Structure 1
Amino acid sequence: MGSGLPRSLALGLGFLGILLHAIPHYQNLMAAAGFNMGIFNAMSLIAWTITLLLLISSLTKPVENLGIFVMPIAAIAIFLENRYQTVHFLSGQLSSGLTIHILVSMLAYSLFTLASVQAVLLAIQDHHLRQRHPGGFIRALPPLQTMESLLFEMIAVGFVLLSLALLSGFAFLENMFQQQLAHKTILSIIAWLVFGTLLWGRYRFGWRGQKALIWTLSGFVVLMLAYFGTKVVLELILG
């Protein structure tokens, strides 16, 4: 109980923070002209989703240590959202199909972000164990095998969600290869292939360690470029 109370308190504070973050974030997203998905609003929404997924997962799985990386990212996203106002309205009433596409895409991005953080943490843990210096927070981490299993669980679920995001995009968007969406679609498909290859390599050849880290981070970078790369060019550079 002694060790459980601080953890329960931390999770409780985390959920409270999520709730407090949701109120101003909702106000920034919803506008008379439509759903404002400017780059910093989108970044904050994904950070909020990542944090929520992390907290929910922490109720049943030993993943709360990912908060070491996730919480500062969420704080930065909140700061940017409130400091710099960017506008990109999804005008009109969103169809149910498009809403599903957006939600599934956000969940996929969020899970792959958590998987990438998990991969980095796993690599750090593996390095310290190989050097026989598992000090500091490394001692608080679950066993290496558990960490690795959690990583591939995240990737597998994220892969399913990304598959659904692509399918819903093709089903509910008029043209996934139109000028403003083509690069996003192509990069998302490349990321899907990267993560699919990683899962196949894990199943067929038992990929792990450095190879898993490289493939995970490669897929994550491509996926983030698919979404945020486009928004950076259109909203911040071209304005």
Structure 2
Amino acid sequence: MLPLSPSLLPSIAAAVLYAAATTYQGIRVSQGAKADQRLLYLLGALAVVAQAYALASQMITPLGLSLNFFSAASLIAAAVITLTLVACTRIPVANLLLLLFPLGCATTLIAQFVPSGTVPLINEEPGILAHILLSILAYGMFTIAVFQALLLLVQDYQLKHKHPSGLIRNFPPLQTMESLLFGFLWAGWGLLSLSLISGWLFLDNLFAQHLVHKTLLACLAWIVFSVLLWGRNRLGWRGHKAIRWTLAGFCLLMLAYFGSKLVREYILHI
């Protein structure tokens, strides 16, 4: 009998906790009521801790850091949920958790049960780890911004057609939702800028063959978000135009990281 993986039980625990939090919040929202925040945050925090423990078991090896495609997705999901839980103590973004908890559940199970591809170990030099951390935080912040943009789109549509659902009735006003979106975008843009700078400082060659697509797409995403924030500041961009630019920049960013990582690990095997 093969020994159990040390990450198995925490992965299952995280998935169960995320599912419980999603079910509880979903039931309360469908009833047009707000979930008990202390219970919701407790379930979410316990799930993140269990997911982080599972990830540590999967990623930390005696020879270096093993960050495969699905572990990276789980790590970013954990970062996104952690950032959102922290933000919930100051700003009204608890509704985002109804979308993020299922993401956490799915990614932790996939990271545990789906075989990884060819994964080069990461040199654990402080500069490289700082670049990775900044990249993950940037992806996480932009992920929150995208979910916020999607909720804003749904809210705008339902208010215009005058049939708001239970979820929408629990939302802050439209203007507040839009201000929150641009707050997340500014934070993500700042983190992405620092990530690109740290990559330029600490990576040997940002335009090496295995990095060139990632670098170019990340730079394009930075330009898209820069134009969006300039348009907001100078031209008052809002509504559907802001949402379209947000989605475009996010797609470029996800292709930069996950697209290149998927091709390298599962197609090229490098």
- In the alignment, residue 203 of structure 1 is paired with which amino acid? N
- Mark the runs of 5 or more structure 1 residues left unpaired by the alignment: none
* Contact 1:30–1:36 (CA under 8 A) maintained in structure 2: yes
After TM superposition, the structure 1 = structure 2 runs for residues 17-166 of structure 1, keeping only pairs within 5 Å, are 17-86=47-116, 87-92=118-123, 94-166=124-196
Alpha-carbon distance in structure 2 between the residues aligned to 1:221 and 1:91: 25
For the residue of structure 2 that corresponds to 1:179, the secondary structure is coil
Alpha-carbon distance in structure 1 between the residues aligned to 2:122 and 2:182: 37
- Mark the runs of 5 or more structure 2 residues left unpaired by the alignment: 1-32
Cα distance per residue 1:161-216 (max 9 Å; x no partner): 00000001001111100100001000000000000000000001111111011000
- How far apart are residue 5 of structure 1 and its match? 7.8
For the residue of structure 1 that corresponds to 2:206, the secondary structure is coil
Alpha-carbon distance in structure 1 between the residues aligned to 2:96 and 2:224: 23
- How far apart are residue 220 of structure 1 and its match? 0.3
* Cα pair distance change 1:5/1:44, threshold 3 Å: closer
TM-score between both structures, scaled by the size of structure 1: 0.95
- In the alignment, residue 110 of structure 2 is paired with which amino acid? L
Cα distance per residue 1:88-132 (max 9 Å; x no partner): 23344x211111111111000000000000000000000011111
Cα distance per residue 1:112-156 (max 9 Å; x no partner): 000000000000000011111112210001111110000000000
Structure-2 residue corresponding to 1:222: 252
Cα distance per residue 1:15-34 (max 9 Å; x no partner): 11111111111100111231
**Greater mean alpha carbon deviation, residues 12-21 or residues 161-170:** 12-21
May I ask how many residue pairs the two structures share in their alignment? Answer: 236
For the residue of structure 1 that corresponds to 2:205, the secondary structure is coil
Alpha-carbon distance in structure 2 between the residues aligned to 1:199 and 1:23: 37
For the residue of structure 1 that corresponds to 2:211, the secondary structure is helix
- How far apart are residue 4 of structure 1 and its match? 8.2
> Which portions of structure 1, spanning 4 or more consecutive aligned residues, are displaced by more than 6 angstroms?
none
RMSD, aligned CA: 1.3
Alpha-carbon distance in structure 2 between the residues aligned to 1:38 and 1:5: 35
* Contact 1:111–1:158 (CA under 8 A) maintained in structure 2: yes
* Contact 1:177–1:185 (CA under 8 A) maintained in structure 2: yes
- In the alignment, residue 31 of structure 1 is paired with which amino acid? T
1:202 aligns with 2:232: yes
Structure-2 residue corresponding to 1:233: 263
Alpha-carbon distance in structure 1 between the residues aligned to 2:112 and 2:129: 24
TM-score between both structures, scaled by the size of structure 2: 0.85
Alpha-carbon distance in structure 1 between the residues aligned to 2:35 and 2:142: 30
- In the alignment, residue 176 of structure 1 is paired with which amino acid? L
- In the alignment, residue 97 of structure 1 is paired with which amino acid? G
* Contact 2:228–2:246 (CA under 8 A) maintained in structure 1: yes
* Contact 2:67–2:122 (CA under 8 A) maintained in structure 1: no
> Percent of pairs identical after alignment?
44
Alpha-carbon distance in structure 1 between the residues aligned to 2:255 and 2:261: 9
1:178 aligns with 2:208: yes
- In the alignment, residue 132 of structure 2 is paired with which amino acid? I
- How far apart are residue 46 of structure 1 and its match? 0.5
- In the alignment, residue 185 of structure 1 is paired with which amino acid? T
